[in-house]
A and B are shown apart, each in its own frame.
Chain A
Amino acid sequence: MRDAEAIAFVKLVSADGHEFLMARTVAIASSKTIRLMLEGSFREAQDNVIRFPDIAGYVLERVVKYLHYKTQHSTSTSRIPEFAIEPEVALELLIAAKYLDC
């Protein structure tokens, strides 16, 4: 039996073992890949844990930030603040974004 917190949150695990907890609703709303993982009938949906062996921790951290940023502003009508991306990680972030369809 999973407790309410586990249902409300989902754990994302990076290649180097960093774990990120984020609201399930935010994760589902902002990334199509994550949504399919959590709503399908595969293991991830059971465990509420998703491992990304191809995404490094520092990239996944920004991904999680971005997912929140996207959820927060996607329906906003006012001016959207810039999402700062360090040029160093830009490329990897781009690949991750494509992978996650977000």
Chain B
Amino acid sequence: MADSKKRFNIRPFRTHQPMDRADANATWEILEHAMDEIANRNASQLSFEELYRAAYNLVLHKHGALLYEGVTEKLNAILLQSVETLAAQPNETLLETMATVWNEHMITMTMIRDILMYMDRTYVIQQRRRVVYELGLHLFRITVWEHPAVGPRVMELTLDLINLQRIGKIPDDRDARLQNVVRMLLELGRADFQANVYHEFETAFLSTTLEFYQQESLSFLSNNTAIDYAAKAASRLEAEARRAKTLQLPVTTEGPLMTTLETEWIQRHSRVLVDMEPSGFSAMLQDDTKVQSLRDMYDLFVRVPSSVDHLREALAARIKQDGAALVQDQEKGASDPSAFCRGVLVMKAKYDRIVNEAFRDEKKAQKRMKESFEDFLNQDARAASCLATYVDELLRVGLRGATEVQILDSLNQAIVIFRFLSDKDVFESFYKQQLAKRLLGGRSVSDDAERSMVSLLKAECGYQFTTKLEGMFNDMRISRETRDKYKSFKRQEGEKNMVDIEVDVLTTGYWPSQNVPPCTLPVPIQESIDRFSKFYLDKHTGRKLKWQTNTGAAELKVTFGTGPDKYRRHELCVSTYQMCILLLFNDKETLTLAQIRQQTQIPDQELRRHLISLCTPKNRILKKGSKGRGIISDEDTFTYNMDFTSKLKRVRIPLVKEASMVRPETAAGLIGADGKDAHVAPGSVPVSVEEDRRHLVEAAIVRIMKARKALNHNDLIAEVTRQLTNRFQPTPQFIKKRIESLIDREYLERSEREHRVYNYVA
């Protein structure tokens, strides 16, 4: 190849004859004629190659402008022909003809575009003109659409047609006429950004839609129930979505269309739909059979997120209202604490179902429900005490004979309420008292149930919350062992004449403590006690036993009646105090209140209560000197009732309720061993719990300050609140008081530089 002789020579380019104007016109005429033939659907007679070559040559020989202008003019001429027939059409056939004309135009344009491809690729790009196809669309818009007897009429007819579909005059299914118009307008709109005819249509369409549904929704609402309205709205939304689909509306139209419907059907009337009586959402919440309807409404509303708030609002309001009714019932004494809790559980189940089924378990509604329950339950501390009482009842009687699964189920429900409580410590305090009573009185349904409850509480609130409760169980176990040991000890000693006693040894601190001085016990009992003390303290040196005579029970064998034949022997089950009282009557027939008090040293208030319990019409062991229910003075007398009768051999003497005889000023703030806390105003936090809270808050403050050394006031409050929140909700004022107290006691000091900062004093 390097050989210079073999150098290739390029064939001279076979130049075409340069094309002059005349040749160009002749060539154009071929094309012009061809365009007519194409418009008349005679294309199969034409040679594509010939036409393509003609256009090619024109462009190639710089006659592009001639070609382009010629095509424009020719197209216009063709279109003018069809617009005449179109404009002459009556309304009935206009849309059909429009569709035909449009489709013809599209076919023509496709073919013309194909043969003029070379022009599109070169001339059009160089000159920045419209490609032929878009030129066709552009001309179509100007010539056909903007003809006064075409465009406006087509638009009106189209909107009328849609309206007729909406009011149901003609079937709401696919209509080729509508589809064609929409497709045409979209296509025309795409070609001309400046004068987008589709936008004109879109605007008109949306505004008629708005107008139509504004009226329809309003008139439908005033004549129908909320649920019928919801069904109608849903069907309307569905129909319009279907229309958007069949008309192949672009998303840019479908979006505003659906928004218009949602606004008109849902958002605008959401308030009314919730509140309207008697069929609104709020009203239906009360009807258990309406869950399906509620769900339908929710499904509708969920399309407009802001309106769902109204539904949640209604839910919250309804829960608070129901809750307030329960609280009121409880306040008026129409229902006992357990009934209150059962009511709350029934309510919870009901609203759980509503949230689950109607609100489709959405998180926000769940949260709203939880907050609403918390709201009415935590108005005061009543719920905590009610719940404790409820659980107490469950564990004493309610769960008798229940299976393990049922027990766990019931307890879990109680925990549900427990979770809502902010005063968890109040619950704990009540629960502890009642647990103590159950354990000491042996009145639990089952040990397993008790333990399950404690472990549930532990799972909820953590280890600390239940240490004391667990300690109580532990004490009970150790006490049982001690009793057994004591029994065998007594057998070894072989003493027979002693009174049998059974002792529970309780650790101070775990159990609800009361500093009640022991009463004077009858001598035989005191002897037994001394013996046990000796036995116990021998084993456990360094311990101290304090006798809680305000608890405990005794069995007395009592003889009634006079004369040998009429003796009736009964066994009386009484409290320790009552035992002390009754044993006094071994020596004397009649005693005054003052005498009894002086001999037994039982606190006055307790003494009165136990005495009254012995004088009830049912169990009239003693006869009271004075009339009436209460004990008036120290000089009131009590006489042993020889004539007492009972069908039962064993007679249980129940204690009367403290509330029925209490004098408020002496009783405020005391929590009885039996948990009958009636003398604290219902709902306020018991004094002992208040006390505990002070300690807890102070402990938390010191703990935090010890770790941080210095801390801003607000941060400290926030941190304390955070730490304690699973027991109770301390108020900032409460914490502030504790901080001040700690400053007084020199645990903390205010920073010298900044007033709002505290320093820890080591």
Chain A residues near B (Cβ < 8 Å): 32-33, 36-37, 40-46, 50-54, 56, 86-92, 99, 101
Residues in B whose Cβ lies below 8 Å from that of A87: 8, 10
Give me 29 A-to-B residue pairs in the complex whose CB atoms sit less than 8 angstroms apart, sorted by A's number: A33-B52, A36-B52, A36-B114, A36-B117, A37-B49, A40-B48, A40-B114, A42-B43, A42-B44, A42-B46, A42-B47, A42-B51, A44-B47, A44-B48, A44-B49, A45-B44, A51-B47, A52-B49, A53-B49, A56-B14, A87-B8, A87-B10, A88-B11, A91-B10, A91-B13, A92-B13, A92-B14, A101-B117, A101-B118
Residue of A nearest to B13 (CB): A91
Chain A residues near B750 (CB-CB < 8 A) = none
Residue on B nearest A13 in the bound complex, by CB: B49
Within 8 A of A (CB), among B46-73: 46-49, 51-53, 56
- Give the chain B neighbours of A42 by CB distance below 8 A: 43-44, 46-48, 51, 111
* Cα distance, A36 to B111, chains bound together (Å): 9
B219 at the interface (CB under 8 A from A): no
| Known A32-B117, A54-B53, A101-B117; contact A40-B10, beta-carbon cutoff 8 A | no
**Chain B 1-17 interface residues, beta-carbon cutoff 8 Å to A:** 8-11, 13-14
Q: Which of B45, B47, B117 has the most CB of A within 10 A?
A: B47
Find chain B residues with CB under 8 A from A52 CB.
49
**Chain B residue with minimal CB distance to A46?**
B44
B interface residues, tally (CB under 8 Å)? 23
Query: How many whole Å from B125's CB to the nearest CB in chain A?
Result: 14
| A32, B115: Cα distance in complex, Å | 11
In the bound complex, residues from chain B placing their C-beta under 8 Å from that of A50 are 49
| Chain B contacts to A: CB under 8 angstroms | 8-11, 13-14, 43-49, 51-53, 56, 111, 114-115, 117-118, 121
Instruction: Looking at the assembled complex, report how far the CB atom of A56 sits from the nearest CB atom of chain B, in whole angstroms.
Output: 8
Task: Kindly list chain B residues whose C-beta atoms are within 8 Å of the C-beta of A41.
Answer: 43-44, 111
Please, which residues of chain A bring their CB within 8 A of the CB of B8?
A: 86-88
CA distance A46 to B8 in the complex (A): 42
For B52, give the chain A residue with the smallest CB separation: A33
> Chain A: which residue is nearest B34 at the CB level?
A42
With the chains together, A89 CA to B45 CA distance in Å? 34
Q: A53-B53, A54-B53 are in contact. Are A36 and B10 (CB under 8 A)?
A: no
Among residues of A, the one whose C-beta sits closest to the C-beta of B121 is A101
Q: A43-B47, A44-B49, A45-B48 are in contact. List 6 more A-B contacts (CB 8 A).
A: A37-B49, A40-B43, A42-B44, A42-B48, A43-B46, A51-B47
The answer to whether A43 and B10 have CB atoms under 8 Å apart is no
A37-B52, A41-B111, A101-B117 are known contacts. Are A89 and B11 too (CB-CB below 8 A)? yes
Q: How far is the CB of B17 from chain A (nearest CB, A)?
A: 12
Specify which of B49, B53, B121 lies most central, judged by the most chain A CB atoms within 10 Å of its CB.
Answer: B49
Contact check, A88 vs B111: say whether CB atoms are below 8 A apart: no
